[in-house]
Chains A and B, each alone.
Chain A
Amino acid sequence: MTDTAPLTAPAIPLGQADRGFCGRINAIHVREDAHGLAAPEIETRLLELGFVEGAEIKVLHEGPIGRDPIAVRINDTTIALRRREAMAIVVTSLNPPE
């Protein structure tokens, strides 16, 4: 499904996305050293909440301090997560070019 994303759009971690960002998930890639839990566990939990390659996401809200955590809509579900964990979700932008 990733091939439907425009090739020109760069892949960025969801953790760096601003409010209003629309995109498609390219990959779930957890770096071993960045988290409290083992990387496979973080990956599994993200998958369980529906963060799977190909899913469309939109950043709906940002937390009051340091714009963290973020609330992300994935299909019809809204999930709150910290930017740190969202760094593991690689997304390509679907925002219409301005």
Chain B
Amino acid sequence: MSAIESTRMSAQTDIGPRHFALVGTPNSGKTALFNALTGSRQKVANYPGVTVERKAGILQTPSGHSVYLIDLPGTYSLRGRSPDEEITRDVVLGRLASETPPDLLLCIADATNLRVALRLVIELKRVGRPLMLVLNMIDIARRRGIEIDLERLSAALGVPVVTSTAVRRGGTEELLRRMDELAAGALDPSGENTWKPPTAGELRAAQREADRVIAAAVGIPARPDTVSARVDAVLLHPVAGLFILLCVLFVMFQAVFAWARPIMDLISSGFDALGVAVHDVLPEGLLQSFIQNGVIAGVGSVIVFLPQILILFLFILLLEDLGYMGRAAFLMDRIMGGAGLHGRAFIPLLSSFACAIPGIMATRVIDNRRDRLTTILVAPLMTCSARIPVYTLIISAFVPATYVWGWVSLQGLVMFGLYVAGIVSALAVSFVAKHFFLRENYTPPFMLELPAYKLPNVRSVVLGLYTRAKIFLQRAGTTIFSMMVLIWFLASFPRPPDGAEGPAIDYSLAAMIGDALEPVLAPVGFNWQITVALIPGMAAREVAVAALGTVYSIEGGKEAAEQIGQALASKWSLATALAMLAWYIFAPQCASTLAVIRRETGSWRWMAITFCYMLALAYLAAFITYNIAVALGAG
């Protein structure tokens, strides 16, 4: 490095990192590129006041400049017709107070699909900020025989153009080199901003101009790519396509139940061993009970579900990366439409299988308010992963581990049935909501790009799983842990009087609360231990399991703590177990879901409505199940 260069570098360092923003249409590979550029040095948070996810990261260019990169939500234009797109517009225009206006806009385009992207470039030019066009997925374009004359394209558009392949090692070298040059040079973000929301006429003119530029600079082979179309001939087939979709979902749930088992057993025996070790080291008394029964048993019983959550998210991330999610929406549009849901609601609802919170947040892709409300209302009915612990516990305690037809696990089948029950009730609720409460005389449009199929990128998927695991463990470490401490406290105090008969927990606050609520829940077959566990279950559903564990282990000593399932099997009737399963299909949701509903709908009313209708359905379902089961002799 020459002396002049190093002087320039130190001068650069003085003015702090450059701010670059990634803008692009949906499916341009923008997020894959962001992942490739920033790797694990990225932070996911929310923009203040809204629930739009904010992804940002720091990267170093080859000659050592720091670039602060922000990944903006995908958009077809700057008109901002949804909260996500408004964020993109405001950041690009430098209007968002909490965000440093970007020094450079990187417009990411799918090199195989330039028409719409170039129109966006033409629109972005009017903003007056330095702009660079990044032709992503250039390897696929070249393989298909698409020839792009970069110099001509750059000259015709009046912006620098660079190519990249986000998913290949070394595929971002050229991009980094250009970013380096730009970061070193003088970027003047104070150009004149002449952007206004484009009219239909301006959009037509911009599209024609984009088409002219493509005709001049891009050679497209006479035969377009037909691989995706041929795959779609099967995957979008009216009969085969639906059948395959069902199979995918079925395999997904079998996998969540069966594949995770060995790792879960390992984790749970690890925590048991830890508990025993602590028990042996610490002297008999309150502290020992707190560490073993409160802390270790509580946290352990939640962390044990990490494998299942990861497997579920693995499927969701793979299907997303493959490009299958949009196809699923296509297949489901009319079916969901019959129940008053939008085809686009399929993706948020599918995400709700992992957790209702990202699902409800994902409803932002639905721009019609009524459709969004309906989707938010029913999203918590989708069986989220937090219910898996409850289902798993009860199913393994009460359903024999046998196989139907030699290969279908009966336990898995019951699990599948519970998922189906959740889906059916969600469709029913949205049907009722649409026809009786949220009546409007139209249905909004369904327009969605079906991207070309792509092999998922391992790095992106791993990064996604890592983020999910981190979020889950943080939750387990904070909310759930503090709830466990509270439960342990309720179950341990006040201490029984000297010479008292029976287990200590019978004298505790928990027993008092349980006793007080028992008359209300007795008709559905719940004893006071369940009642106690349901209260913290409001904070997070999976806590109910840990709470049951705490309640029963404090009651029965350490033998019972070793096997909550065995304890349940001996203490509950089959009718109670079934009622508990029915209750949890509708389970009054966790506090964080309610908080997200409040935030997303901007009203306490919708939060209250969701809470009340789910509570009512849960009680009703448990009541019916319990009484039928008792009548059939399972009491």
To the question of whether A and B form a pair in one complex, the answer is yes
A interface residue numbers (CB < 8 A to B): 35-37, 40-50, 52-54, 60-66, 68-69, 71, 73, 75-82, 84-85
Q: Is the CB of B326 within 8 A of A80?
A: yes
Contacts of B239 on A, CB cut-off 8 Å?
A: 64
Q: State whether the Cβ of B238 lies closer than 8 Å to any Cβ in chain A.
A: yes
Alpha-carbon gap, A75 to B448, bound state (A)? 15
| Cβ < 8 Å to A, chain B residues 551-582 | none
Q: Is the CB of A71 within 8 A of B334?
A: no
Q: Is the CB of A40 within 8 A of B333?
A: no
Q: What are 30 A-B interface contacts by the 8 Å CB criterion?
A: A35-B444, A36-B445, A37-B444, A37-B445, A40-B200, A41-B81, A44-B198, A44-B200, A47-B200, A48-B76, A48-B77, A49-B76, A52-B208, A61-B330, A63-B330, A64-B331, A65-B334, A71-B232, A71-B330, A73-B229, A76-B115, A76-B220, A77-B113, A78-B229, A78-B450, A79-B447, A80-B326, A80-B450, A81-B447, A82-B445
Contacts of A63 on B, CB cut-off 8 Å?
A: 238, 330-331, 333-334
Q: Is the CB of A50 within 8 A of B207?
A: yes
Q: Is the CB of A81 within 8 A of B232?
A: no
Alpha-carbon gap, A96 to B368, bound state (A)? 40
Contacts of A37 on B, CB cut-off 8 Å?
A: 368, 444-445
Q: Is the CB of B446 within 8 A of A82?
A: yes
Task: Give the total of B residues in contact with A, Cβ under 8 Å.
Answer: 50
Q: State whether the Cβ of B343 lies closer than 8 Å to any Cβ in chain A.
A: yes
Q: Which residue from A60, A79, A80 sits with its C-beta under 8 Å from B229?
A: A60
A36-B442, A64-B242 in contact; A79/B200 too (CB < 8 A)? no
Render B113-126 as a binary contact track against A, CB cut-off 8 A, 1 for contact.
10110010000000
Q: Which residue from A62, A68, A85 sits with its C-beta under 8 Å from B445?
A: A85
Alpha-carbon gap, A62 to B239, bound state (A)? 11
Contacts of A50 on B, CB cut-off 8 Å?
A: 115-116, 119, 207
Closest to B235 in A: A61
Q: State whether the Cβ of B203 lies closer than 8 Å to any Cβ in chain A.
A: yes
Nearest Cβ in chain B — how far from A61, in angstroms? 4
Additional A-B contact list (9), CB under 8 Å, known A49-B116, A52-B211, A63-B334: A36-B442, A44-B198, A44-B203, A50-B119, A50-B207, A64-B335, A69-B333, A77-B449, A80-B449
Q: State whether the Cβ of B635 lies closer than 8 Å to any Cβ in chain A.
A: no
Q: Is the CB of B445 within 8 A of A80?
A: no
Q: Which residue from A40, A45, A53, A60 sits with its C-beta under 8 Å from B447?
A: A45
Contacts of B233 on A, CB cut-off 8 Å?
A: 61
Contacts of A73 on B, CB cut-off 8 Å?
A: 224, 229
Contacts of B229 on A, CB cut-off 8 Å?
A: 60, 73, 78
Q: Is the CB of B448 within 8 A of A79?
A: yes
Q: State whether the Cβ of B329 lies closer than 8 Å to any Cβ in chain A.
A: yes
Q: Is the CB of B204 within 8 A of A53?
A: yes
Alpha-carbon gap, A78 to B452, bound state (A)? 8
Contacts of A82 on B, CB cut-off 8 Å?
A: 333, 445-446
Q: State whether the Cβ of B303 lies closer than 8 Å to any Cβ in chain A.
A: no
Which of A43, A46, A64, A84: most chain B Cβ within 10 A? A64
Closest to A44 in B: B200
Nearest Cβ in chain B — how far from A76, in angstroms? 5
Q: Is the CB of B220 within 8 A of A80?
A: no
Closest to B367 in A: A37
Q: Which residue from B444, B449, B451 sits with its C-beta under 8 Å from A49?
A: B449
Alpha-carbon gap, A31 to B241, bound state (A)? 33
A66-B334, A69-B330, A71-B330 in contact; A77/B116 too (CB < 8 A)? yes
Closest to B442 in A: A36
Q: Is the CB of A44 within 8 A of B79?
A: yes
Alpha-carbon gap, A42 to B335, bound state (A)? 23
Q: State whether the Cβ of B88 lies closer than 8 Å to any Cβ in chain A.
A: no
A36-B368, A44-B79, A47-B204 in contact; A78/B334 too (CB < 8 A)? no
Contacts of A44 on B, CB cut-off 8 Å?
A: 79, 198, 200, 203
Closest to B27 in A: A77
Q: Which residue from B241, B242, B445, B449 sits with its C-beta under 8 Å from A35?
A: B445
Q: Is the CB of B334 within 8 A of A80?
A: no
Contacts of B200 on A, CB cut-off 8 Å?
A: 40, 43-44, 47
Closest to B238 in A: A64
Q: State whether the Cβ of B478 lies closer than 8 Å to any Cβ in chain A.
A: no
Q: Is the CB of B448 within 8 A of A80?
A: yes
Q: Which residue from A35, A40, A48, A69 sits with its C-beta under 8 Å from B442?
A: A35
Q: Is the CB of A69 within 8 A of B76?
A: no
Contacts of A80 on B, CB cut-off 8 Å?
A: 326, 329-330, 333, 343, 446-450
Alpha-carbon gap, A84 to B204, bound state (A)? 22
Closest to A85 in B: B445
Q: State whether the Cβ of B112 lies closer than 8 Å to any Cβ in chain A.
A: yes
Q: State whether the Cβ of B149 lies closer than 8 Å to any Cβ in chain A.
A: no
- 6 smallest beta-carbon distances between A and B, as pairs: A36-B442, A64-B238, A65-B334, A36-B444, A48-B76, A47-B203
Contacts of B450 on A, CB cut-off 8 Å?
A: 71, 78-80
A60-B232, A76-B224 in contact; A81/B448 too (CB < 8 A)? yes
Q: State whether the Cβ of B402 lies closer than 8 Å to any Cβ in chain A.
A: no
Alpha-carbon gap, A47 to B208, bound state (A)? 11
Alpha-carbon gap, A2 to B81, bound state (A)? 31
Alpha-carbon gap, A24 to B199, bound state (A)? 23
Q: Is the CB of B334 within 8 A of A69?
A: yes
Contacts of A46 on B, CB cut-off 8 Å?
A: 447
Q: State whether the Cβ of B443 lies closer than 8 Å to any Cβ in chain A.
A: yes
Q: State whether the Cβ of B322 lies closer than 8 Å to any Cβ in chain A.
A: no
Q: Is the CB of A36 within 8 A of B443?
A: yes
Contacts of A71 on B, CB cut-off 8 Å?
A: 232, 236, 330, 450
Contacts of B446 on A, CB cut-off 8 Å?
A: 69, 80-82, 85
